[in-house]
Amino acid sequence: MEILKAEHISLKAKEKFIIKDISFTLEKGDFCCVVGMNGSGKSTLMKCLCRAVDTSEGSVFIREKNIKKYSVKELAKEVSVVFQSSDINMDFSVLQIVLMGRMPYQKIFERDKQEDLLIAEQALRETNTLHLKDRLFPSLSGGEKQRVLIARSLCQNTPIMFLDEPIASLDVKHQFEVMELLHRINQEKQVSILLILHDLSLALQYSNKVIALKHGEMKQFGATNNILTKENIESLFEVKAEITNNNNIILTH
Amino acid sequence: MSLFCIIFAENSKRKLKKIFIYLILIIVIVALCFVACMFGSVDIGAMTEQDVYILRQIRIPRVLMCMVSGGCLAVCGTVYQAVFRNPLSDPYILGVSSGASLGASLAIVLGLDALVLGVPFMAFLMALATVFIIMKLSQVGNRMHITTLLLAGISINFLFSAIISIIMFIDREDMHKIYFWTMGSLSGVKYSDVITVAAFSIMGIIVLRLYAKQMNALLLGDMSAQSIGVNVEKTKRNILIISTLMTSAVVSYCGVIGFIGLVVPHIVRLLVGEDNRRIIPYSIFGGIIFMLSADIVARVLVAPSELPIGTITSMIGAPFFIYLLYNAKQKLHF
């Protein structure tokens, strides 16, 4: 079932295209990675897809409805976004952050109800962060912060989840921990996930679709195994690549 | 035990603690009100006819105005800090009070003070214009940077002070009236003034308290707030208009009283955390206590004369502002 569709979207700034003519479709339950070099337009694409910035041309559809026709609240029930955690430096507790995920379901002046607390509890359990509920967010480690933000996304209970480099600056153990968590959410809840990723081996291991960007243009889109080939990676990243038998990608200059 | 049960139990305990703290704060305020009513250029004790007159016509309206304006300015500071995502924002530092003061001065020069709400209306218009100028000047990309925000505020403050000086120079007849706005004063406050400012303040505070959850979301950043369903532009606009209206109402009747909106929310935040749902009510109490104390000091320090209250709040607030800047610098270093 088609859940997200981008049709010829472009974003211009000062007469220069930041992203240009991007079109693709995601199905329910897809796990899609956006790859590309720095400055290729990955984060901009994600911002356009969640209407954080308006596109100059083209349209984005969720369940065949243009996202411009959704109210902010309606859109927040369809798409949850995990931006990079370094942006949050306020002393909110983990529980407060996670409960904010219930805001799309509450009236503007409504308090947290029992139902909201139960959903938050479930999200904290699923991300193994229940024991952190009273800790202040800035005091958490990078991996814990990402898990808490994913818990907030779960609390939002959306069919689509966007993540902007969720494993950047994490050590290898925590990278796997976060990727496993996302994989589980994707498999068990059939949540469609679109995430920006620099690690091509992890993209090959976990995703079923890949969007490859270069200089703001979509060079390739399709099944991961067809896109992340030696030739494509070499042309995309301008390095030498080798794919091992156990799906590890080794890049050399 | 489920999270709901734990939180329910915690909330019951917290409610008791909250009631206890509120009681203590109310006792402190009542005590300060008593002191503020009894002491001043004339000490009241025997309750002669003259004492009763002073109490009813001068001291009580003044104390009431202190409470209303103190609570109002503290809440406005809280709101500005949430909207600008900047702990150094308050209506005074950003020049919004100066804008309101300029509006009030213009209203006097143009003879609008003869109209009902003529002065507050002009003060509000100029204050609102200042907010938008500040926002435009300090916005770099999607964010408002601390340096540009403060520089914009300082520049606006200088500019408006210069214009007010020119107005005072040209229109010497109204000079004393305008001078009052630049220093802040509560002398000569009438009950009708208190009622007007209270109406704006109470309505404003109720609405802003209802927006507290949205303000919390704004602290996460505009994009994060939007992703959890907050209409960022609309929320910011509504909150800023309401708080600017409240500031203008206070400035119209009490002049520019600085730093309350900076000092009080900071202290409250240290005590109760970042949640605006808690900061707003405690800021009201904090603002009242701060303002009453400053007024008592202003009246007692050089009795039988009195200092403008704005000078006292600035004497406390400016060093506090320097301390906050110093802290910000330390954070940048380490």
Task: Note the pLDDT tens digit of each residue in B281-304.
Answer: 999 999 999 999 999 998 888 777
User: From the CA of A252, how many Å to the nearest CA of chain B?
Assistant: 36
Nearest partner of B229 among A232, A203, A99, A197, judged by Cα? A99
Q: Where are the domains of chain A?
A: 2-89+160-252
Structure tokens at A52: 């954080």
Minimal Cβ distance to A81: which of B211, B227, B273: B227
Instruction: Search chain B and give the residue with CA nearest A116.
Output: B4
Find chain A residues with C-beta within 8 A of B7's C-beta.
95, 117
Model confidence pLDDT, tens digit, residues A26-52 = 999 999 999 998 888 999 999 999 998
Whether B333 has a pLDDT exceeding 50, the answer reads no
Three-state SS for chain A is: CEEEEEEEEEEEECCEEEEEEEEEEEECCCEEEEEECCCCCHHHHHHHHCCCCCCCEEEEEECCEEHHHCCHHHHHHHEEEECCHHHCCCCCEHHHHHHHHHHHHCCCCCCCCHHHHHHHHHHHHHCCCHHHCCCEHHHCCHHHHHHHHHHHHHHHCCCEEEECCCCCCCCHHHHHHHHHHHHHHHHHHCCEEEEECCCHHHHHHHCCEEEEEECCEEEEEEEHHHHCCHHHHHHHHCCEEEECCCCCEEEEC
Neighbours of A197 (CB within 10 A): 25
Instruction: For residue B118, give the 3-state DSSP assignment.
Output: helix
- In this structure, of A141-145, A239-243, B228-232, B233-237, the range with the lowest mean pLDDT score is A239-243
Tell whether B238 lies on the interface with A, counting CB pairs under 8 A. Answer: no
B175: confidence class by pLDDT, cuts 50, 70, 90 = confident
CATH fold, domain A2-89+160-252, is Rossmann fold (3.40.50)
Tell whether A15 lies on the interface with B, counting CB pairs under 8 A. Answer: no
Roughly what angle, to the nearest 10 degrees, separates helices B96-109 and B232-254? 50
Indicate whether this model's pTM tops 0.95. no
As a CATH number, domain B75-85+96-323 is 1.10.3470.10
CB B306 within 8 A of CB B187: yes
Are the beta carbons of B7 and A80 separated by less than 8 Å? no
Tell whether A83 lies on the interface with B, counting CB pairs under 8 A. Answer: yes
Are the beta carbons of B3 and A117 separated by less than 8 Å? yes
Q: What is the pLDDT of residue B145?
A: 66
Residue B110 DSSP code: T
Minimal Cβ distance to A73: which of B4, B229, B232: B229
Structure tokens at B203: 């309505």
Minimal Cβ distance to B4: which of A51, A117, A156: A117
Tell whether B45 lies on the interface with A, counting CB pairs under 8 A. Answer: no
User: From the CA of B219, how many Å to the nearest CA of chain A?
Assistant: 7
Percent of chain B with pLDDT over 70: 91
Roughly what angle, to the nearest 10 degrees, separates helices B260-272 and B276-300? 130
Instruction: Search chain A and give the residue with CA nearest B143.
Output: A87
Are the beta carbons of A88 and B220 separated by less than 8 Å? yes
Model confidence pLDDT, tens digit, residues A199-250 = 888 998 899 999 999 989 999 899 998 888 888 888 888 888 777 777 777 7
Q: What is the pLDDT of residue A212?
A: 92
B334: confidence class by pLDDT, cuts 50, 70, 90 = very low
Mutate which: A18, A47, A107, A108, vs B, most B CBs within 10 A: A108
Mean per-residue pLDDT over chain B, rounded: 84
**How far, in whole angstroms, is CA B44 from its chain's centroid?**
30
Tell whether A124 lies on the interface with B, counting CB pairs under 8 A. Answer: yes
Structure tokens at B176: 């004393």
Tell whether B51 lies on the interface with A, counting CB pairs under 8 A. Answer: no
Model confidence pLDDT, tens digit, residues B76-88 = 999 988 888 877 7
Query: Is the backbone of residue B242 left (phi > 0), alpha (psi -120 to 50) or beta?
Result: alpha
Are the beta carbons of B217 and A103 separated by less than 8 Å? yes
List phi, psi (to 5°) of A228.
-85, 65
Separation between Cα atoms, residue A67 and residue A46, nearest integer Å? 13
Nearest partner of A219 among A58, A34, A38, A50, judged by Cα? A34
Tell whether A72 lies on the interface with B, counting CB pairs under 8 A. Answer: yes
Q: What is the pLDDT of residue B4?
A: 62
Tell whether A91 lies on the interface with B, counting CB pairs under 8 A. Answer: yes
Cα torsion A75, A138, B272, A100 to 10°: value is 10
CA distances from A169 to A86, A135, A146, B284 (A): 10, 21, 11, 42
Structure tokens at B41: 């250029």
Separation between Cα atoms, residue A216 and residue A45, nearest integer Å? 9
Minimal Cβ distance to A109: which of B210, B228, B229: B210
Q: Which segments of chain B does DSSP mark as H helices, in order? A: 3-38, 49-54, 60-83, 96-109, 118-138, 146-170, 175-183, 191-210, 212-218, 222-227, 232-254, 260-272, 276-300, 309-333
Separation between Cα atoms, residue A94 and residue A132, nearest integer Å? 7
Q: Is the dihedral of CA B291, B293, B297, B299 positive or negative?
A: positive
Minimal Cβ distance to A121: which of B2, B219, B275: B2
B51: confidence class by pLDDT, cuts 50, 70, 90 = confident
A59: confidence class by pLDDT, cuts 50, 70, 90 = very high
Tell me the mean pLDDT in the region B191-211.
92
Tell me the mean pLDDT in the region A123-147.
89
**ipTM > 0.85 (yes/no):** yes
Instruction: Search chain A and give the residue with CA nearest B232.
Output: A72
Q: Where are the domains of chain B?
A: 75-85+96-323
Minimal Cβ distance to A120: which of B3, B211, B232: B3
Nearest partner of B76 among B91, B66, B93, judged by Cα? B91
Roughly what angle, to the nearest 10 degrees, separates helices B260-272 and B309-333? 50
CA distances from A115 to A118, B25, B110, B217 (A): 5, 34, 58, 20
Separation between Cα atoms, residue B291 and residue B294, nearest integer Å? 5
Are the beta carbons of A83 and B221 separated by less than 8 Å? yes
Structure tokens at B231: 């209409």
User: From the CA of A128, how many Å to the nearest CA of chain B?
Assistant: 14
Separation between Cα atoms, residue A220 and residue B40, nearest integer Å? 80
Q: Are strands B143-144 and B139-140 parallel, antiparallel or unpaired?
A: antiparallel
Length of chain B: 334
Model confidence pLDDT, tens digit, residues A80-119 = 999 875 567 778 899 999 999 999 999 877 788 888 999 9
B180: confidence class by pLDDT, cuts 50, 70, 90 = low
Mean per-residue pLDDT over chain A, rounded: 89
Separation between Cα atoms, residue A229 and residue B55, nearest integer Å? 87
Work out the end-to-end distance of chain A between its first and last CA atoms, rounded to an integer number of angstroms: 41
Whether B307 has a pLDDT exceeding 90, the answer reads no
CB A49 within 8 A of CB A194: yes
Separation between Cα atoms, residue B228 and residue A50, nearest integer Å? 11
Whether A161 has a pLDDT exceeding 90, the answer reads yes
Q: Between A and B, how many CB-CB pairs are < 8 A?
A: 87
Q: Give contacts of B 215-234 with A, CB under 8 A.
A: 216-217, 219-221, 223-224, 226-232
